[in-house]
Chain A
Amino acid sequence: MLNRSGQIAGRSDDATSAGGGAHPTFTGNRALQQEEALLFEIGRRETTGIDIAEPEAFKPRLNGLERKGGVDIPGLSEPETMRHFVKLSQKNYGIDTGLFPLGSCTMKHNPRLNEKMARLPGFGDIHPLQPLSTVQGALALMEELSRWLLETTGMKAVALSPKAGAHGELAGMMAIKAAIDAKGEGATRRVVLVPDSAHGTNPATAALIGFQVKPVPARDDGWVHVEDVKALLGPDIAGIMLTNPNTCGLFEPQIVEIAAAIHEAGGYFYCDGANFNAIVGKARPGDLGVDAMHINLHKTFSTPHGGGGPGSGPVVLSGRLAAFAPVPYLKAEGEGLTLVEHDAAAAEGEAPFGRITAFHGQMGMYVRALSYMLSHGGDGIKQASEDAVLNANYVRACLSDLMSLPFGDKPCMHEALFDDAWLKGTGVTTLDFAKAMIDEGYHPMTVYFPLVVHGAMLVEPTESESKASLDLFIAALRDLAMAAKDGDATRFTGAPYHAPRRRLDETRAARSPVLTYRTPEPVREAAE
């Protein structure tokens, strides 16, 4: 599309980049691969795609604060808007495009029934502050979701309101802090143990509320060892943040002993539940000694990631922390349900630590997650966990002769972790390998996480993949791996070749950040 200065958006100076000997095109487009300019280059300030009549004349009552000078945001008509965003969507890879093995992120199928349910006016079109008598069905839904979460985790209470996983971590750690303060130990218990393999949100969360983060060093078997934890315990211990199954894709075999040690030291066990999807219906965190755990509804329970959010991160709590759950929470009242929305309204024995967000959390995600749960049933969610683990192990088994496993050839949970030892001497890095996968039509796996494994490649196929899909994926990865080993480095170092963009210059983006569109200075026409 031509922008307002008559240039063709996104067309490279070197128009021969079409490849394959094809003729360069006038527009820079290649049939269905189309360039799209920025809204600010194609929109017009006076254009709108919304029909709405001016109000009848009236006297504004804006306290003298009328906006002068306009808003300077261009508009598009509806057909132009559709094209703009449809073209943008075509530059994205989604789960529905193909296998999306992004470890730790659980890119499983997003059922469209869930979307339909969340849009029922009785859920999508109700206000968080309308009288509770007019939203009893919504509260009942929240209660039903809570029951599923408590039954699958074996925990005592749940705070639904956290807005994503990291927010759930914050809520859980706040509950721990409140419990410690309630015992009068706030001044001494300041240390939270976090393994080096943990996701960045764990240390960031602990530090946010003043805890001192102490690392638990990594071992070469990928597990956290109870004696390493014990060595760090003392009267200053507030708790531990442990991911289970862990970020290496392994179940922590000593988890029960670790929990007991932490409890004995007077601390609390926060479990990062990002990987709960491997064990739903197989084992319950409550039986393992966990005190608090967030559940990413956008991972385990299939609510869509939406290009980065929104998510939902309810946090389940043990009996030791239940009393400190934040407001709002549900309570039975007469025939129906009510919400406790203020600390002061708490009953005897409850000591909510406060509020972490306006309103009641991510209702839209609660509906989707419950729709997923009801569809699967208790039988289906267990099967889903087993299939997720099976698929990951199948990938591991079919690639382990070519790609190296950092912790030896042992079963994994829902994700298979490789390192880059096998790439040594090939001139190909983990990043290069990932980019070459793009050319093969796959989204890369998670790379360089967890940090404890060199050049990590974390593959999480999820239970949504058929065997045929996995077989093709495995064949493609084997072909790539052999090409790397055969010295075909340019297939990797220049990749991707076939994506909407070649590799992007991230250093340049960070060095002099351009974060908003600046209207270019008008170019003066050369005199005739």
Chain B
Amino acid sequence: MRYLPLSDADRGEMLARIGVDNIDALFADVPKDKLLTKPLDLPRHKSELEVERHLGRLAARNVPASSVPFFVGAGAYKHHVPASVDHLIQRSEFLTSYTPYQPEIAQGTLQYLFEFQTQVARLTGMDVANASMYDGSTGTGEAVLMAHRVTKRRKAVLSGGLHPHYADVVRTLSRMANDEVVSLAPDVRAKEDIFAAIDDATSCVVVQSPDVFGNLRDLRPIAEKAHAHGALLIAVFTEVMSLGLVTPPGEMGADIVVGEGQSIGNGLNFGGPYVGLFATRQQFVRQMPGRLCGETVDAEGRRGFVLTLSTREQHIRRDKATSNICTNSGLCCLAFTIHMTLLGEAGLTRLARVNHANAVKLADALDALPGVSVQTAGFFNEFTVKLPKAAAGVVEALAAKGVLAGVPVSRLLPGAGLDDLLLVASTEVNTDEDRAALVAGLKEML
């Protein structure tokens, strides 16, 4: 077996040194009748070539985003990731290191985490950011719990524009923790009256922008109303690239900003691993979940970095911890940081403009189709269109023709009476030909 260096001779010598006759003597504490006596019903080991063949066959049964005109979004976005990003994150010293518990030999990880935290804080317009959550959805769940700790209240108000998976994560967690959740109905035009749902028992208001339908939301009046009632505003995003072009939540009064960072540096990966971004105001730092990297000096006075404020965390505080998170999204943070470094402000804002321009172009082309109407007035790179028939069937039929058209709202909200709505995203990867293929395909279908 190519991964196991011990030879049988080694094993014999080592057993002798330990002073036992056979390996099962070391498993003596396993109840006799529970020690497996026959092999598991699993295939025998395979060569590298055989594994490649086997997995290659499975991979070939999927349609990769890059191979077709591709407009699927709703919380995960197809962007171009520079080759250098994927090369750098595979450096052994990054890939095969652990959480930086021994800072003297983990300055590489710690410094990029410090850079990551700074990039995230600046992008979101907040004071501080942590070293990541699992993804945007679990980060949103954690943000609600944090708001409960800060306000000592236990009721969250969820906008109907919050990604339905994110809302489900919050509702599941809240139900289990016996906390109250008020969920507004999904509203494709973002006309919900969220103000009416906020009262003096409200701990936090959770609003996504761009929301799941693509609407860019002005958070200022919501922040004002929330603050007037002593509640926090949690601003959520699922498309981090939007922050290159859109007013950051920190400038609109958000108290916690949380979202999905996949779009920068990370591939689609069928939904994971991704990277949850989490930022807040300085005054709430000690209520934050997750790891934080901070600056300090070493015994010779040289600048260095360490994990800090860990008295919030499970390994110290146990059942009183702010969160149970331990392993987070380390390497995905690195991918984010490298891609963000390559972009810089100049590249990010331009890339964001290209995304927006592509989406505007596509929206106009689709809106011109008879029977199709764009529902979203202000958006970034994703919007909702209304079709004259159920979107799911249309998407399926277009997939058969080699166009991945978007996400039918019914996939996210079955039974909500929104079956004729289709979410369409267009990023920098789409060409004019891609858009033409979608328009032509739809036209034929309707």
Contact = CB atoms under 8 A, between A and B. Distances in A.
A110 B395 CA distance: 39
A275 to B, nearest CB: 13
B351 interface: yes
Given A287-B34, A354-B172, A358-B136, A389 B27 contact: yes
Contacts, number: 743
Contact of B34 (A58, A85, A256, A304): A256
Given A94-B96, A127-B72, A166-B324, A111 B343 contact: no
A449 interface: yes
A485 interface: no
Contacts of B75: 128-129, 358-359
B327 A308 contact: yes
Contacts of B343: 48-50, 73, 75
Given A124-B269, A434-B102, A513 B308 contact: yes
B100 A307 contact: yes
B175 to A, nearest CB: 7
A344 B42 CA distance: 35
Interface stretch (B85-93, B191-199, B227-235, B438-446): B85-93
B365 interface: no
Given A61-B377, A374-B55, A204 B84 contact: no
Contact of A200 (B18, B318, B327): B318
Contacts of B59: 117, 120-123, 137
Given A49-B344, A127-B268, A365-B273, A177 B52 contact: no
Interface string B307-326: 01111011111111101111
Interface in B2-26: 2-6, 10-11, 13-15, 17-20, 23, 25-26
Contact of A81 (B46, B248, B341): B341
A172 B58 CA distance: 29
B2 to A, nearest CB: 7
Contacts of A134: 62-63, 399, 404
Contacts of A502: 104, 298-300, 302
Chain A contact patch, size range: 35 or more
A25 to B, nearest CB: 14
Interface string A292-310: 0000101000001111111
A133 B396 CA distance: 8
Chain B contact patch, size range: 35 or more
A141 B34 CA distance: 30
A492 B406 CA distance: 60
B76 to A, nearest CB: 6
Given A61-B360, A71-B348, A310-B331, A384 B353 contact: no
B88 A86 contact: yes
B127 interface: yes
Contact of B31 (A58, A129, A253, A443): A253
Interface stretch (A7-15, A315-323, A419-427, A520-528): A7-15
A398 B215 contact: no
A500 B105 contact: yes
Interface string A337-370: 0000110110000000111111111111101001
Given A61-B360, A122-B58, A371-B55, A283 B298 contact: no
A209 B176 CA distance: 5
20 contacts: A48-B344, A49-B347, A62-B245, A62-B246, A63-B218, A73-B119, A92-B93, A122-B60, A130-B404, A163-B134, A166-B324, A207-B321, A310-B329, A358-B271, A364-B273, A376-B1, A383-B1, A411-B20, A510-B309, A515-B294
Contact of A503 (B60, B298, B346): B298
Given A126-B65, A376-B45, A510 B308 contact: yes
Contacts of A342: 414
Nearest to A411: B26
A170 B309 contact: no
A82 interface: yes
B396 A377 contact: no
B357 to A, nearest CB: 3
A276 interface: no
Contacts of A131: 395-396, 399, 404
A309 B108 contact: no
Given A94-B97, A164-B326, A81 B331 contact: no
B357 A55 contact: yes
A166 B133 CA distance: 12
B63 A344 contact: no
Contacts of B272: 128, 163, 310, 312, 357, 359-365
Contacts of A411: 18, 20, 25-26, 28-29
Interface in B202-221: 215-218
A356 B414 CA distance: 18
Interface string A137-159: 11011001000100110000000
B153 interface: no
A516 B121 contact: yes
B243 A67 contact: yes
Give 4 closest A-B pairs by Cβ, nearest first. Answer: A75-B344, A63-B378, A122-B59, A359-B271
